[in-house]
């Protein structure tokens, strides 16, 4: 019962849709890798290593105390945690850069340096550039 509780508390994996989105961002060169998924899985073999690596400190302490049994789940938890961190870091970066470019475009429209037609065209290009699909 206790082990089931611990395992269910592991890092929540990203959904299949989020995985596809992250792959699309990788293909466009927009992905951010704050944490290496392979390293997170490998560190999961060490007492609490995978969890500590992906900032799951409470779970890391529990895995440390349950080592060597935690080897059964900590590598996967670390891997999933790294994917989740990278997904959300990528989304944040993409939204920030996209917002900045659209704000600059809005400013050009307000200043009168571009017309509505050019504004719409360039805005579509920006949205396509930062779209996952």
Supply the angle between the helices 74-111 and 57-66 in degrees, to the nearest 10: 170
Q: Give the pLDDT of residue 11.
A: 64
Q: Give the pLDDT of residue 10.
A: 53
104 CB-contact burial (10 Å; exposed 0-12 / middle 13-18 / buried 19+): exposed
User: Is 81 within 8 Å of 13 (Cβ atoms)?
Assistant: no
> Which two tokens mark 3?
């082990």
Provide the phi-psi class of 62: left if phi over 0, else alpha when psi is between -120 and 50, else beta: alpha
Q: Is residue 71 part of a domain?
A: yes
User: Is 45 within 8 Å of 91 (Cβ atoms)?
Assistant: no
Q: Is residue 43 part of a domain?
A: yes
Q: Is residue 133 part of a domain?
A: no
Q: Is residue 79 part of a domain?
A: yes
Q: Is residue 132 part of a domain?
A: no
pLDDT along the chain (133 residues), means of 10: 42 90 95 96 94 95 93 95 97 97 97 96 96 88
Of 83, 40, 78, 45, nearest to 59 by C-alpha is: 78
Q: Give the pLDDT of residue 5.
A: 38
Q: Is residue 49 part of a domain?
A: yes
Q: How many domains does the chain have?
A: 1
Q: Is residue 9 part of a domain?
A: yes
Q: Is residue 87 part of a domain?
A: yes
Distance in angstroms (rounded) separating the CA atoms of residues 33 and 68:
29
Q: Which residue segment(s) compose the domain that 83 sits in? A: 2-92
Q: Give the pLDDT of residue 132.
A: 87
For the entire predicted model, the pTM comes to: 0.84
Q: Give the pLDDT of residue 133.
A: 83
């Amino acid at each position: 019962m206790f082990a089931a509780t611990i395992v269910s508390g592991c890092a929540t994996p990203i959904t299949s849709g989020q995985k596809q989105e992250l792959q699309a961002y990788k293909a466009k060169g927009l992905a951010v890798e704050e944490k290496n998924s392979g390293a997170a899985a490998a560190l999961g073999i060490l007492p609490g290593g995978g969890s500590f690596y992906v900032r799951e400190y409470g779970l890391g302490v529990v895995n440390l105390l349950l080592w060597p049994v935690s080897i059964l789940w900590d590598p996967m938890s670390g891997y999933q945690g790294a994917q989740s961190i990278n997904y959300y870091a990528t989304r944040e970066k993409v939204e920030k850069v996209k917002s900045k470019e659209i704000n600059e475009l809005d400013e050009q429209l307000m200043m009168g340096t571009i017309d509505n037609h050019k504004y719409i065209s360039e805005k579509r290009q920006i949205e396509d550039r930062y779209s996952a699909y």
